[in-house]
Amino acid sequence: MEILSREIGLSNVHVIKDEKTIIVDTGTYRNKAGMLNELRAMGVDPKEVSLIILTHGHMDHCANVNVLKELTGAPVLAHKNAVKFLETGEFDPYVPRGEWGKMFFDFVKDNPVDLPDPITPDIIVGDEDFDLSAYGVHGKVIYTPGHVNSNITVLLDSGEAICGDTIIINPFNGFNGTGALFCDDREALDRSLERLFKEAHTYYSGHGGPFTKDQIQVDPE
Ligand SMILES: [Zn+2]
């Protein structure tokens, strides 16, 4: 199994190559030709893609979801709390966590992003684990709220986790990883991090990374 990551716009797109291929998140700016080139650069045959997973309903992660669905024919999976955003473009507010969160908000707030065309996910998961073996990947989707209440993580049997913005780069602390700098529920975030630290050893983020456990520092604030 192999994980490939590319920063496409402001966020990372991840490709899991196992028996089949799963794409996790779809980048920030809509660009069909660009996405096709990115897939080629990662050695992805669009026909081998079995699933497209959106880690959460924030527009910097979802711009090319329709483009990738069209290119691959694969179904789209998201958490039930991401459906409103995907269907209407309405998103929950970004809530900065602590001083670093406020600094991060100032750092990113003026970046333009593209909204995806409205889409209803083909597979809508709830809070229970969702096994990915039917899609040719040894792992599962788990619910990891805290950044926003739609955030899910792909937890692979290898101990690698693709966790959306549950863990994110901290540009104010040596570019190490930290818990979500935008956080709408601190207790939920702590529970999500606890499970991730217990069940995984390497963390692929929407922004920066990948991080190993010892590269992650979560401030108490
Ligand atoms: Zn986000």
Helix, strand, or coil (residue 104):
helix
For residue 74, the model assigns a pLDDT of 98
Ligand 1 centre from 140 Cα, in Å? 20
Ligand 1 centre from 92 Cα, in Å? 10
Ligand 1 centre from 151 Cα, in Å? 8
CATH of the domain spanning 2-112+120-215, picked from 3.60.15.10, 3.20.20.140, 3.20.20.370, 3.40.50.12170: 3.60.15.10
Ligand 1 centre from 164 Cα, in Å? 7
Q: Where are the domains of the chain?
A: 2-112+120-215
What residues have their beta carbon closer than 5 A to ion ligand 1? 58, 165
Helix (H) or strand (E) holding 168: strand 167-170
For residue 61, the model assigns a pLDDT of 96
Q: How far apart are CA 132 and CA 143, in angstroms?
A: 14
Rounded to the nearest 10 degrees, the angle between the axes of helix 32-41 and helix 65-72 is 60
Instruction: For 38-69, write each residue's pLDDT tens digit.
Output: 999 999 999 999 999 999 999 999 999 999 99
For residue 95, the model assigns a pLDDT of 94
Instruction: For 64-106, write each residue's pLDDT tens digit.
Output: 999 999 999 999 999 999 999 999 999 878 999 999 999 999 9
What confidence category does residue 138 fall into, taking pLDDT thresholds of 50, 70 and 90? very high
